[in-house]
Amino acid sequence: MNRIAVCPGSFDPVTNGHIDIIKRASSMFDKVIVLVMYNARKNGGTLPVEERAELIRRCVDGMPNVAVDFYGGLLADYVKMNGVCAIVKGLRAVSDFEDEFQQALANKKLAPDVETVFAVTSSEYMYLSSSVVREICRYGGDISGFVPDVIREDIVKKYSSET
């Protein structure tokens, strides 16, 4: 059976915490789609979704069952249109839980055949979020270890000028 999972998020920008969840999802499912979403609650984000997706593509180059896509609509519609069986989300702390729980229930209502699966963060990435990376870039700090090396310089360039 071809079991397709989606890892949705803003990825503004992608971090090592995201990559860890993507890798782990790729070992559990036949195919993983990393889905960059336009999040109206985050004012659409800093970089255009196409650019965020391009940065992720460079990081998942060596993962043969991982693809990257972007979408401006409802996640529930995307999963139904693409034969997805699971939505994989990462949990860093209790504070992530309430929002993720609500989203999982709403998605279950809209797409009843699709399960939300939660992966607990690896402890070394517990503190890591895209907003922490944006904040460090804004003040010219060092993001080594926060984002994949292959895109680090591009992130510094893009986010120090745009934030």
Contact residues: ligand ADP, CB under 6 A? 9-11, 15, 17-18, 21, 89-90, 92, 96, 121, 125, 128-131
What distance in Å separates the CA atoms of residue 124 and residue 78, rounded to the nearest whole number?
31
Tokens of 93: 């702390």
Q: Rounded to the nearest whole angstrom, what is the least distance from the CB of residue 143 to ligand ADP in the complex? A: 13
Check: CB of residue 87 under 8 Å from CB of residue 79. Answer: yes
The nearer residue to ligand ADP, 65 or 131, going by C-beta atoms, is: 131
CB of 9 to ligand ADP, least distance (A): 2
For residues 59, 64, 69, 74, the Cα torsion angle rounded to the nearest 10 degrees is -120
Residue 109 designated active-site: no
Per DSSP (E only), the strands in 22-65 are: 31-37
Q: Which is nearer to ligand ADP, 79 or 128 (CB)?
A: 128
The answer to whether residue 130 is catalytic is yes
- Its sign, for the CA torsion 125, 126, 128, 130, is positive
**89 among known catalytic residues:** no
Which C-beta is closer to ligand ADP: that of 22 or that of 156? 22
Q: List residues with catalytic annotation.
A: 18, 42, 92, 130
